[in-house]
Structure 1
Amino acid sequence: APAGHPAVPAPDGAHLIPAYPAAERAVRALAEAVSYARWRREAADPGKVPEYEDIDEKGAAALIEGHLARGQGLTLSTDQTCDLLARYGVHVHRALPAPAPDAAVAAARALGYPVALKATAPHLRHRADLGGVRLDLADEEQLRRAYTELTELFGPPGELRPVVQRMAPRGVDTVVRAVIDPAAGAVLSFGLAGAATQLLGDTAHRLIPVTDREAATLVRAVRTAPLLFGWRGSAPVDTPALEELLLRVSRLVDDHPEVVAVTLEPVVVAPHGLSVLGAAVRLAPPPARDDLGPRTLPAY
């Protein structure tokens, strides 16, 4: 009712017309109604968890059992991580250690040029902005020069832990994570890689198991999602391949609760296909779940 006027009861069966003191509040209420209607539609058709014929669930279970037999909780080595992820169709680009210039050259010959030279020390890992990465090295001369530059800037190879990796097609760098949250259970997270995204906390989350519809909304839920879809004239990237990767990671964690943490960083999504350039997996006995309360996403 307008200010200063008493509210008039509506007759039985009639509906009152909502009134707002400002247009902004009316627009906000309408937006909430539209959002609620969209949520109702999505709830009616949540999608499905797809099956993949190339998933080797039994083989992955055997690997996990063998690793846990040697310890209650452990972070897998690079080779062990690649082997386990490959059982679910997630293939990580090989990165060969390069403790000396000659070893770097031998690794590049084995992988094929062009290659990237990366320092994997904890303070430099995933920090291309610090200069610990050299890309598009086309031959031995460029590789040796880049190796010298890195060691002069950051110290001896023993501290840098350099590796050589075959170059992947250019695209948008993203991060895919899955963890076991004490309140919500298994949670799949997605965001774009980089300092700006980390500072803004621009990461989206979904509960595992993730359906195909949820994977599509997860990719689009981050504020930086326009970078994946041709922002300012750039080439759109292969989001269907990215959604499939999310679904495969979700299946791995859902099938094997001993996989308590997965990190794929970076995942370079190109106009055609994607490349997983780094991966880490942690195993532990599955945490106790009482499921006495609702599963809700925590506030991040």
Structure 2
Amino acid sequence: IPAYPAAERAVRALAEAARYARWRRQAAEPGRVPEYEDIDEAGAAADIDVLLAAHGATPAPLTGPRAVTLSAADTQRLLARYGIAVLPALPAPDPESAVRAAHRLGFPVALKPTAPHLRHRADLGGVRLDLGGEAELLRAYGELTELLGKPEETRFVVQSMAPRGVDTVVRAAIDPAAGAVLSFGLAGAPSLLLGDTAHRLVPVTDRDAAEQIRSIRTAPLLFGWRGTTPVDTRALEELLLRVSRLVDDHPEVVGADLEPVIVAPHGVHVLGASIRLAPPPARTDLGPRSLPVV
């Protein structure tokens, strides 16, 4: 009969036993990797071969393959093969181009810089949202030019507005020890300052995706925290599964960053994305290991 010097230790031991039992139940039902009829795996493979050949990417014998970062158009085309749409954005090198782009996309629009050190930096005030007409757009263009520099120094794009929701980040990368890893977290301070990010090995199952978005500490923001409107977590889970499939189907995809991903009450909206490709390195072992489910 176990004996404990204090009730607290007995409760902790019972909690560990409960966690272990829950883990055993989950291991017995790992979930499944769903199939999607709109995924074009063969088309994506052909695109990747063409892109790698165009960039002259070849494996380096000592340092491994050199990754190439795809252009925005190539990234969007490759993601579209897997049913992932990126919200349209058009270049705006001058105010007149910005107005034409806004009319083409339809008001309201957002105006934002493309420089890597300015993207995703809301604290710098470099993004203007919900611009409903030409006058607002031109005024915002002038303000950003004065704040960030001339258009030839800081490039801008006009993008369609996405519905309000929760800003998130979805990433995939190759870990030398574990293989392909899918990461998820909320955009901004939660991920950057607190490290509140959840990781899963690829391929991700439907159970993995559901648990991943619920495992971060800031997950309540997705489910109606303090009376806010819950967002479409089912659509978010599907996005994670599609990114996982892309990385799992094509070892040439060594990195994928989707940021920000707006999770709205209905649907998800990818505002920015980048993909890195490299020829798969020569394998010297059998790759990531997985324990058999007993």
TM-score class, shorter: over 0.9
Helix, strand or coil at the partner of 2:238: helix
Give CA-to-partner distance per residue, 1:171-194, whole Å, 9 cap, x none. Answer: 000000011110000000000001
The CA deviation string for residues 116-169 of structure 1, in whole angstroms up to 9 with x for no partner, is 000121221011221010000000000000000001111111222111001000
2:199 equivalent to 1:205: yes
Q: Which runs of 5+ in 2 are unaligned?
A: 58-66
SS at match of 1:117: strand
1:6 paired residue number = none
Q: Contact 2:255/2:276 (CA < 8 Å) preserved in 1?
A: yes
Q: Deviations over 1:23-69 (max 9, x none)?
A: 22222211111111111011001010000000000000000000111
Q: 2:23 aligns with which of 25, 39, 60?
A: 39
The aligned counterpart of 1:106 is 100
More deviation, 165-174/70-79: 70-79
8 Å CA contact retained: 1:212, 1:247: yes
- From 86, 89, 107, the counterpart of 2:83: 89
**Residue 56 in structure 1 maps to residue 27 in structure 2:** no
**1:247 and 2:241 are equivalent in the alignment:** yes
Give 1:295 shift.
5.8
Partner of 1:147: 141
Aligned equivalents of 1:193, 1:292: Cα separation in 2? 31
Find the counterpart in structure 1 of residue 60 from structure 2.
none
Q: How does 1:114-133 map to 2 (within 5 A)?
A: 114-133=108-127
Give how far 1:293 is off: 7.0
Q: Tell me which of the two structures has the higher relative contact order, counting C-alpha pairs closer than 8 angstroms and 6 or more residues apart.
A: 2
Is the contact between residue 183 and residue 200 of structure 2 (CA under 8 Å) also seen in structure 1? yes
Q: Does 1:166 align with 2:150?
A: no
For residue 239 of structure 1, what is the amino acid of its counterpart?
T
Task: Tell me what 1:65 maps to.
Answer: 49
Return the alpha-carbon distance in structure 2 between the equivalents of residues 197 and 183 of structure 1.
23
CA contact (8 A) 1:177 1:264 kept: yes
Q: Contact 2:210/2:237 (CA < 8 Å) preserved in 1?
A: yes
Query: For the Cα contact (< 8 Å) 1:176–1:191, is it kept in 2?
Result: yes
For the aligned residues, what is the CA RMSD? 1.3
Q: Is this contact kept in 2: 1:183–1:295, CA < 8 A?
A: no
The number of equivalent residue pairs is 280
Match of 2:286 among 276, 286, 291: 291
In structure 1, what residue type is equivalent to 2:243? V
What is the deviation of 1:267? 0.3
Judged with a 3 Å threshold, the aligned counterparts in structure 2 of structure 1 residues 277 and 292 are, in CA distance, closer, same or farther, namely closer
In 1, Cα distance between equivalents of 2:280 and 2:185: 26
Change (3 A) 1:142 1:294: same
1:216-295 correspondence runs (5 A)? 216-289=210-283, 290-291=285-286, 294=289
Moved runs in structure 1, 4+ residues, more than 6 A? Answer: none
Give the Cα separation in 2 of the matches to 1:209 and 1:127: 32
Note the residue ranges of structure 1 that are not aligned, 5 or more in a row. 1-16
Kindly state the Cα deviation for residue 292 of structure 1 after the two structures are TM-superposed.
6.7
- Equivalent pair of 2:168/2:186 in contact (CA under 8 Å): yes
Larger Rg: 1
Opposite residue 252 of structure 1, the aligned amino acid is L
Q: Please give the TM-score of this superposition, normalised by the length of structure 2.
A: 0.93
Give percent identity, aligned residues only: 75
